[in-house]
Amino acid sequence: MIKDIEKTLIEGNLRFQWKITQDLENLEVEEKIPKYPVLILTCMDPKIDIHRIFQLKPGDVFVLRNAGNVYTQDMLRSILISIFDYHVKYIIILGHMDCGMTKFKLTELKKKLLHKILSNSLSNNSDVFSETRQFFKPIVDELRNIKNHVEILKRLQEFFPEIEITGMLYDVNTGWVFEYEKFKDFSVIWNFRRQYETILTEKKYQFIDFFNTIEHEIVDINDLVKPLKESEVNDVEIEQFPKKIVGEHAEISNISEIDKKKKDNSENERQKFELKQKYKVQGIIPKIKVPKIQFQGVKIHIPNIINKRRERMNKD
């Protein structure tokens, strides 16, 4: 019942209002809207929360969404408004892995319904299949879809040479976002998945480097946090390499599974070696442990490497 949904939403809003009164939330936004001259075109998949995954605030960027983050006339309308009136300079196509639009099937029912709903705008004697396909815009491959749309939107540069366009790929299962550079050389998502372990290894190194840059922020949190007793600290591993990603796509190639694995492994090992060289890390890739610390009902994660460094500093 929509009344139940309405009740849930309004209760959520009351909770939001309560947080405003407690200064746990605020509606302040930068004077300049958007704060960053950025427009992100992404999928309507409810698992994607742009502000959360990039740790942005309301007012920071424009977000356009539809099924499969595809280019349409209406998207163009909003993009042009953002360029003309809000001086947007960067457009990002953020696609995601496991997009539902790759599984979209045009059944007879959908075709019939569509013809009834859009009887005025669809021509009577045209090819129903291609028209419905054109209308729903199902996508074949998430990665290729991003690359196609980057190319489509780059046509805008003819009129707005200062606009820059790029793509990003989000993994809804791990929370990682991959820059265009990391996946643009793969032809399809399947090939990206085969190298996923290596790609994530590089992300781990980025992650460790990043901790060094925000260490002071985390240490500041310590002033507010009363750490739990040793017995209450619960070590949790932050993330592991996905053990098996191939799954349903395993039959694409003619090479046998064993040959494929051997090839992938040696390729992965070579790339890991190069990464180690690049980041000058010796030995096994470090695992990041994250202890759980309770703070008035809020969990704050502080990585072990930070704690160890802090202990070291205290000793000195």
Distances (CA, A) of 139 to 43, 104, 150: 12, 8, 15
| Residues contacting residue 206 through CB under 8 Å, at least 6 positions apart | none
Rounded to the nearest whole angstrom, what is the least distance from the CB of residue 46 to Zn ion in the complex?
10
Residue 293, beta-bridge partner list: 300
State the nearest-atom distance from the C-beta of 42 to Zn ion, in Å.
8
Classify residue 205 by burial, with Cβ atoms within 10 Å: 0-12, 13-18, 19+. middle
Exposure string of 277-286, with b = 16+ CB inside 10 Å and e = fewer, is eeeeeeeeee
Does residue number 45 form part of the binding site for Zn ion (CB under 5 A)?
Answer: yes
Cβ proximity to Zn ion: between 99 and 169 the closer is: 99
61 near Zn ion (CB under 5 A): no
Contacts of 66 (CB under 8 A, 6+ apart): 43, 44, 72, 75
66/166 with CB nearer Zn ion: 66
* Number of chain residues interacting with Zn ion (CB under 5 A): 3
Q: Is 171 in the site for Zn ion (CB under 5 A)?
A: no
Query: Which residue number, 75 or 99, has a Cβ lying nearer to Zn ion?
Result: 99
Task: Assess 88 for contact with Zn ion (CB under 5 A).
Answer: no
Phi, psi of 170 (to 5 degrees): -110, 135
CA separation for the pair 243, 240 (Å, rounded): 8
Is residue 64 close enough to count as binding Zn ion by CB under 5 A?
A: no
Asked if 75 touches Zn ion (CB under 5 A), the answer is: no
Residue with smaller CB distance to Zn ion, 43 or 163: 43
Residue 31's Cβ-side half-sphere holds a number of Cα atoms within 13 Å equal to 0
CB 146 within 8 A of CB 166: no
Mark the segment that binds Zn ion (CB under 5 A) among 11-19, 45-53, 267-275, 305-313.
45-53
**Is there binding between residue 48 and Zn ion (CB under 5 A)?**
no
Residue 268, helix vs strand vs coil: helix
Identity of the residue, 31 or 248, whose beta carbon is nearer to Zn ion in the bound complex: 248
Q: Toward Zn ion, which CB reaches closer, 95 or 303?
A: 95
Q: Which is nearer to Zn ion, 190 or 207 (CB)?
A: 190
Any idea what DSSP says for residue 121?
T
Stretch that binds Zn ion, among 44-52, 213-221, 272-280, 292-300 (CB under 5 A): 44-52
The span of 11-19, 93-101, 238-246, 274-282 binding Zn ion (CB under 5 A) equals: 93-101
Q: Quick one: 43 or 153, whose CB is closer to Zn ion?
A: 43
Which structure tokens are listed for 39? Answer: 């427009």
Least separation, in Å, of the C-beta of 299 and Zn ion? 29
x/- string (CB under 5 A) for Zn ion, residues 96-135? ---x------------------------------------
State which residue, 96 or 194, has the beta carbon closest to Zn ion. Answer: 96
Amino acid type, 53: I
Q: Does 43 bind Zn ion (CB under 5 A)?
A: yes
Which region, judged by CB under 5 A, interacts with Zn ion, from 41-49, 186-194, 297-305, 306-314?
41-49
Question: Shortest gap between Cβ of 113 and Zn ion (angstroms)?
Answer: 22
| CA gyration radius, the chain | 24
Distances (CA, A) of 167 to 10, 49, 99, 103, 221: 36, 17, 15, 21, 34
**Which residues make up the interface to Zn ion (CB under 5 A)?**
43, 45, 99
